[in-house]
Amino acid sequence: MAAPAFKNGLVRWIDHRLPVFSFLHHELHEYPTPKNLSYWWNFGSLAGIVLVIMIATGIFLAMHYTPHTLYAFDSVERIMRDVNYGWLIRYIHMNGASFFFIVVYIHIFRGMYYGSYKAPRELLWILGVVILLLMMATAFMGYVLPWGQMSFWGATVITNLFSAIPVVGDWIVTWLWGGFSVDNPTLNRFFSLHYLLPFLIVAVVMLHMVALHRFGSGNPLGIDVKGPQDSIPFHPYYTAKDSFGLGVFLILFAGVVFFAPNLFGEPDNYIPANPMVTPPHIVPEWYFLPYYAILRAIPNKLLGVIAMFASILVLFILPWLDTARVRSAKFRPTYRKFFWVLVIDCFVLGYVGANPPEGWFVITGQIATAYYFFHFLILLPVLGLIERPLPLPQSISAPVLKPAEGKA
């Protein structure tokens, strides 16, 4: 790669000593991107932007928040009522978490549909799963900070999951709490870690980008870029497309922040935490509901906890569970149907997780949990071997340019 000739003398001087401008030119302008990316490819950059929004609003909220059991709830209410634009910054942060998960879940399912995790992008996918786990830990600890009833009992139930570990379980839970129940030491450390983890996410996102730029984006056809006629520079083409998508996203996001800011929230979290009274119906935030349903589907405490963690850990080995050589579901007619069954299954799990474990919800949750693991552990390995994929086009350009070129 030849260093580009910059017109500005100062830029040339800096770039010779610190090649940031060459780097940006190489990774944005020269970076060849498949020319057939659809809007499903917007959600990666969108997730990055939401991460920046969350960090920015979070740093400002920390300037007025007090991490103490006696003051936390009141300090959040003070942010809402007395602090200038406090309501705005908090509602952006609070709903930003929900939108972050919406964007990331779409990004993950896009990866599943188009086989984005297949060679040579396995590590790219695994880094993404690491980001998901860090996001879940961050979101959980952030939800505890306002110290409402759901904060407190969510923290109690989730930390108690670790008590299911044989022998050392109780010791670990006491260690996590820094006491004998969720209390001030717990709140303090959750605040500390809630501030730290987003920066770890930034670090893993950077690795995710390094891995991405090694082989470039996949594309809806799932075939490799075969030459310059198949790609266009990222900038200005995809910066423009991403910006348009960002505009649409921000309209929806602002719509919720301004007109339905508590849409995703639980009213019980506006009641101050009371360690003596558990609310009659406790549920986690919506983005954890499917995992919660899996936890409750199994009547044994330890096995339930194992199943819940396994539902995410199975994603780490997804690149090796899927035996199909063809990446895109566009050319896998059978897989395409089962992909949508999995999407519906996840919604069913979410619905079951939101409801009390009684009556037909119990058996529905158990069937949906069994299907979730069946999809990854049995269906994907077998389907890759027996499915007959449709013929792949010869190149990204071929279907479009064939009449003009007259040859393949």
Rounded least distance, CB 180 to other proteins, Å: 4
Q: Which is nearer to other proteins, 235 or 301 (CB)?
A: 301
Rounded least distance, CB 282 to other proteins, Å: 6
Q: Which is nearer to other proteins, 35 or 189 (CB)?
A: 189
Catalytic-role residue among 107, 194, 208, 241: 241
Q: Is 242 a catalytic residue?
A: yes
The whole-angstrom separation of Cα 385 and Cα 381 is: 7
Task: Read off the tokens for 158.
Answer: 């989730």
Handedness of CA 345, 349, 350, 352 (dihedral sign): positive
The whole-angstrom separation of Cα 123 and Cα 18 is: 29
- Beta pairing partners, 34: 231
Neighbours of 127 (CB within 10 A): 19
Contact 395, 230 (CB under 8 A): yes
Neighbours of 168 (CB within 10 A): 11
Q: Which is nearer to other proteins, 22 or 355 (CB)?
A: 355
Q: Which is nearer to other proteins, 98 or 151 (CB)?
A: 151
Rounded least distance, CB 265 to other proteins, Å: 20
Rounded least distance, CB 136 to other proteins, Å: 17
- Beta pairing partners, 233: 32
Q: Which is nearer to other proteins, 70 or 254 (CB)?
A: 70
Q: Is 241 a catalytic residue?
A: yes
Contact 229, 400 (CB under 8 A): no
Q: Which is nearer to other proteins, 170 or 405 (CB)?
A: 170
The whole-angstrom separation of Cα 406 and Cα 294 is: 55
Catalytic-role residue among 45, 217, 395, 397: 217
Q: Which is nearer to other proteins, 318 or 368 (CB)?
A: 368
Q: Residue 15: which H helix or E strand, with range? A: helix 9-17
The whole-angstrom separation of Cα 134 and Cα 129 is: 9
Q: Which is nearer to other proteins, 101 or 177 (CB)?
A: 177
The whole-angstrom separation of Cα 286 and Cα 292 is: 10
Rounded least distance, CB 252 to other proteins, Å: 34
**Is 33 in a helix, a strand, or coil?**
strand
Catalytic-role residue among 15, 25, 75, 242: 242
Rounded least distance, CB 309 to other proteins, Å: 15
- DSSP structure string for 205-221: HHHHHHHHHHH----TT
Residue 29 is classified by DSSP as I
Catalytic-role residue among 285, 311, 330, 395: 285
List contacts with other proteins (CB under 8 A): 153, 156-157, 159-161, 163, 174-183, 185, 189, 275-278, 280-282, 296, 299-301, 304, 356-358
- Of 375, 393, 376, residue with least CA distance to 326: 393
Contact 282, 153 (CB under 8 A): yes
Catalytic-role residue among 26, 64, 213, 235: 213
Q: Is 358 a catalytic residue?
A: no
Token pair 């695994």 in the structure block, residue: 126
- Of 23, 408, 30, residue with least CA distance to 216: 30
- Of 64, 68, 55, 60, residue with least CA distance to 145: 68
Rounded least distance, CB 333 to other proteins, Å: 42
Token pair 């996590």 in the structure block, residue: 176
Rounded least distance, CB 185 to other proteins, Å: 7
Q: Which residues are marked as active site?
A: 213, 217, 241-242, 285
